Amino acid sequence: MFDTATTALLRAVLDEVCESVSHREIGARTHVAAKILEAVTRGEVSADGLRQVGREALSRAPTMWR
């Protein structure tokens, strides 16, 4: 598990990257969250780096709104 600060960072990055995605778009949000988690487990801990990973994941996410 992640410490409190890392968890807060992950949540903030996910919310920021997915701000235009409906909470009903579970597939897209889950895809982005998974990619962000993969990045942090590989050692990416900067907010900017995680945002970039999240944005790239969102551009490839399965979604109904694109």
pLDDT score for 63: 60
pLDDT score for 11: 97
Taking only the tens place, the pLDDT of each residue in 20-66 is 998 888 999 999 999 999 999 999 999 999 999 999 999 988 765 44
**What mean pLDDT comes out for the span 3-29?**
94
Alpha-carbon span 44 to 36, nearest angstrom: 9
Domain boundaries, the chain: 4-59
User: What residue spans of the chain are helical by DSSP H?
Assistant: 4-17, 26-41, 47-59
